[in-house]
Amino acid sequence: MIPGADVVLLSRIQFGMTALYHFLFVPLTLGLSTLLGIMETIYFITNRPIWKTMTKYWGVLFGINVAMGVATGITMEFQFGTNWAYYSQFVGDVFGTPLAIEGLMAFFLEATFIGLFFFGWEKLSKGKHLIVTWMLAIGSSFSALWILIANAWMQHPVGAHFNFQTMRMELTNLYDVFFNTVAQAKFVHTISAGYVTGSIFVLSISAYFLLRQRNVEFAKRSMTVAAAFGLASALSVVVLGDESGYEANLNQHMKIAAIEGLWETEPAPAPLTLIGFPDQEHHVTKYAIKIPFVLGLIATRSLHGQVPGILDLVQESRKRIQHGILAYDALTTLQKNPNDKNAQIILNNNEQDLGYGFLLKRYAENVKSATPAQIDAAAWSTVPRVSPLFWSFRVMAGCGFFFILLFTIAYYFSIRRQLTKYRWFLWLALLSLPLPWLASEFGWFVAEFGRQPWVVEGLLPTFLGTSYLSSMNLWISLAGFILFYSALAVVEIYLMVKYIKLGPDGMFTQS
């Protein structure tokens, strides 16, 4: 029995909505926690009270953000058991390990030091409180690390083996899971993006104070720290994004082809499509403006490596589906007779394509006797929607290059002590506040939507991972999540606006 298309769609929408909403808080947590460590380090060295005020003020906004992040993260994880029951059963041995470590090692570490950060100012020495602040930043990064290790395994499953007797993936090598090259690339890229988000946040709010000519010395120092740290981080995002692209081309050819609207395999090195209009019906990207060689250099790091196009990848999927049929047939035989040696050999020889046999279940009631038309439909289902990926990636990349420009201008003005001279720049900094969240959300969308139709790349199709729920139950729970998260959004915005307007002069004695 396969869940209905409406159940799969609603389950995807619900999890996608909650994940994207939760991810609004993650980058700011990563960025602000490290900026707090930098500011308090300067206070520890200089002993100037203004740096303590800066750390405490930005710490209040950090605390509001963390509280909302925890509330949204917990509800999101419950969905693994409620909406994605078979996925949880299929990958629980692997996926549950990094999540458990994250909860035991990282989350409690972060939660403990959050309390010490806020309540330890008068009870701890300067040095001990500085250690607390940096441990808070490290805990936040560790929390992100283990979550990204779990997510990267879905993109590039390693260190695990399929057990046909239990119908589960079983962990065989934690080292391979932890040092998954995709996980390492995603981690440094996500951390750098978080640093950019924290820096833009501090830069924009500081610009607000300077425009209102309030807390001028506080704002100028905050902007200087944000400009220097943000510029380094924004440059890192571009470099580390290149690494992510290289890893994706090694393991997820279809994602790269869809992001680029690359229908035909072009001679190496392939050009990068700067802009264009993908037409999925006619398999062409119209009015494409291309930059020669760039895609080939990024994706293969060579002048001779080819980047396969969508049409060739669909043809490859047809071949893998044929092997998947053999693996699926052997699996059904082994479920009846686990000692069938011939079936074991066939399964072992074709196990890497078993997921493509599962993929065919959506189109053929009897996988073994699937028609050419059904195989063709399954092969084309490996192509995600191209236009959303194409444009989402370009919005994300465009924001990234804008951040480099913004931080460069801010850093130049800061070293020349001209941060208050140009109001146009202050307005530009203030109006840029939403952009890092926009870039992060589009980046997360590209990573997850580009993996479709797989919930675990090449192993488990998304439609097989859902729970057997009714559409009505999903509509009710989706409505509940929308109401709950809308209420949280109102609380978040109210508290942030309240304490931003209050300013450090309204909360602390500054000198």
* Rounded mean pLDDT, 314-331: 93
Query: If you average pLDDT over every residue of the chain, what do you get?
Result: 90
Q: Which band of pLDDT confidence, cut at 50, 70 and 90, is reported for residue 70? A: confident
User: Residue ranges per domain, the chain?
Assistant: 5-252+385-498, 259-300, 310-380
Which pLDDT does position 193 carry in this prediction? 94
* pTM strictly above 0.85: yes
Q: Would you say residue 75 has pLDDT above 80?
A: no
Which pLDDT does position 106 carry in this prediction? 67
* C-alpha span between 233 and 227 (Å, rounded): 10
Q: Would you say residue 481 has pLDDT above 60?
A: yes
pLDDT tens-digit map of 365-398 = 888 888 999 999 999 999 999 999 999 999 999 9
Q: Which band of pLDDT confidence, cut at 50, 70 and 90, is reported for residue 477? A: confident
φ, ψ for residue 272 (rounded to 5)?
A: -95, 130
Report residue 193 as tokens.
């993006």
Which pLDDT does position 283 carry in this prediction? 93
Q: Would you say residue 316 has pLDDT above 90?
A: yes
Which pLDDT does position 130 carry in this prediction? 95
- DSSP collapsed to 3 states, 112-181: HHHHHHHHCCCCCCHHHHHHHHHHHHHHHHHHHHHHHHHHHHHHCCCCEEEECCCCEEEECCHHHHHCCH
Q: Which band of pLDDT confidence, cut at 50, 70 and 90, is reported for residue 400? A: very high
Q: Name every residue whose Cβ is closer than 8 Å to that of residue 167 and which is 6 or more positions away in sequence.
A: 89, 90
Is the CB of residue 54 less than 8 Å from the CB of residue 11? no
Q: In percent, how much of the chain has pLDDT > 90?
A: 56
φ, ψ for residue 3 (rounded to 5)?
A: -55, 150
Question: What type of residue is 316?
Answer: E
* C-alpha span between 57 and 209 (Å, rounded): 13
* Rounded mean pLDDT, 51-78: 87
H helices of 49-125, in order, are 49-82, 85-101, 108-119
Q: Would you say residue 511 has pLDDT above 50?
A: no
Report CA Rg, the chain.
25
DSSP state of 369: G
Q: Would you say residue 278 has pLDDT above 60?
A: yes
Which pLDDT does position 509 carry in this prediction? 56
φ, ψ for residue 161 (rounded to 5)?
A: -140, 140
Q: Would you say residue 510 has pLDDT above 70?
A: no
- For residue 388, whether the previous peptide bond is cis, meaning omega lies within 30 degrees of 0, is no
